[in-house]
Structures are given as structure tokens and as C-alpha cells.
Amino acid sequence: MTLKQLEAFYWAASCANFSLAAERVCVSISSLSKRIAELEVSLGVILFDRSGQRALLTDAGAALLPRAQAMLRDAEAIRRDVTHDSGIRGTCRFGVGELTALTWLPTLVSNARQRYPELRLEPSVDAGSSLGALERRVHDGALDFAVIAGRSSSPEMTSVDLGEGRFKWVGAPALVGNARVVTAKLLASTPVITLPPGTGTHRVLDEWLGANNHETPQRLTCNSWGVVAGLLVEGLGIGFLPVAWADQLTARGELRSLGTRHALGPLRYAFYRRRDDTRPLVTAMMEVVRESIDFSVPGRWMRR
């Protein structure tokens, strides 16, 4: 029994399939399967039931999993203690939404590189799809963690509050004329440009409509924050943007801020990780994310 065999087994048991596990261990699927088979021979038990379309843990495999995880964690602790380094190295795959990517992701990458220079970062940006897409990838083992709007309801996931994004209503001056507030008449006369259903900002809009007793307006949806901002500037509808972006475009005269009786609610963001994933890498990255998160960053992509 070797640590490489235990590592192959741990990831095969933790990921949705052997293909993802092989990526985690940086070997081919055949090499991963060989290591697991060698471990099974060494222990004299079958760890995976391979009779179906997907390999499933046997009772022996389920019993081994927490022990294997503990042994890998202890081996990493020994290495850290002997070499006197942070121990945070390898590859970290994580997911963020587009709003994070367009605001504070560069800060996160810079901070992580300074603190853990041997860690390779592979961010994955999810643009305007449903809130569950990134969570599923964390659950399946494709991502180490994700920063997602909202809290997880899955007992297999842990979500820790990080911060919030705030938004402001805006419209192109040529479209809204002398209007200074969002009224029922304005909502009835022009579409609301927003992200698709299932996204956090779509929920913010629905809650705001209910608080202000407005009817559901016509919506023009797009899964890109950049395109939403561009459509607003072109006067194809009204909508809301992150406060810093709204202020930036308002200062340039491309948009006008619109007041409301009840302000838009904030969108809370959380750090998502698997409950059973206690690796130091994930805990360390959560602290770097805490230090980096800032949705008030002006849109660099809008600079001219």
C-alpha cells in the first residue's frame, strides 16, 4: 500500500467519475485504475463495484475512505513540518461568477500567488447560468471550491458567508427622458434588462418587484454582465448594475441613476466547499478569498 495508491483511491471515491479523478491526480485513467487495482490486491478487498455504468464504493471502500483521507492529511502535515513551508502547492481549480471575474478576481489571483507561489490557479468563470451549476461542479469534485451567490441547501456542502454585491437602477438619458425614479409607468413602457432566470440578480429583481408592488415587467435577458451594461447604454431598456459600474457610467453621461421607493436588496455571496473536504489547500484559499472579495471595484473593462 502506497500513498499514491491511496491518493488515487481518495479522488476516485470523491469525484463523480474516474475521468475527473485522473485529472486530479494528473495521470491517465488507465494509470489511476491500475493504482486502485494494486491497492485492492494489497488489501485483499474490492473497493469499487464496477458492474454498473459508474463505479460505486463497496462497504470496504466506504470504510477505507475516511482512513485514506486521514493518512493523506497526515502525510501532508509531516511534509510541511519537515520542510518548514506552507504546504500549499499543486493545482487549485475554483469557480466564480462573471461579476466576481470582472471585479475582484485579479486581486484574488495576485494575493494567492504572493502567499502561495507554488500553487497553480485554474479559475473557471460561470457566466450567468443557474446558481446550481458551480455548486454541482464542487460536489462532483471538478472544483475545489466556488464563490457563489446565496447559501447551499445541500447537506453535503458547506457555504460560508463572504460579502455582498449591491446594485443601482440606471437607464440611458435618451430613453428615460426626465425620469428620475423607476415608476410603474416606466416599467410598463420599456423592458428590464437583466441576467437569466435562476441567477442571483434575477432573484433580487423579483424580490424588489414584490416589495414595491410592481407588476412583472417585460424582460430582456442575457447571460453576460458586460452585454447587459452595453444594452443599457444603448437605451434598449432599463436595469440595474453594480453600484461602482453604475456610478462610473453615470459620471461619463452614458447612463442616469434612477431612484426607487425601496432599494434593491444586496446579493450575498458565499464560499462553497464540500463538507468532507478538509484539505489545508481549501481552508487556505478561503482565507485569501476573504481578504480579496470586493464587489465595489469599478469595471476595468469599461475604461476608455
Half-sphere exposure of 123 (CA within 13 A, CB side): 21
What residues contact 146, with CB distance under 8 A and at least 6 apart?
94, 95, 96, 134, 135, 137, 138, 271, 272
Mean pLDDT in residue range 5-34: 90
Q: Is this prediction's pTM over 0.75?
A: yes
pLDDT of the residue at 160: 93
pLDDT of the residue at 61: 92
Q: What is the CA radius of gyration of the chain?
A: 24
pLDDT of the residue at 62: 93
Q: pLDDT digits over 198-235, tens only?
A: 888 888 999 999 988 888 889 999 989 989 999 999 99
The domains located in the chain, with CATH, are 3-83 (1.10.10.10), 90-165+267-302 (3.40.190.10), 167-258 (3.40.190.10)
Which set of grid coordinates corresponds to residue 20?
A: 475527473
pLDDT of the residue at 130: 55
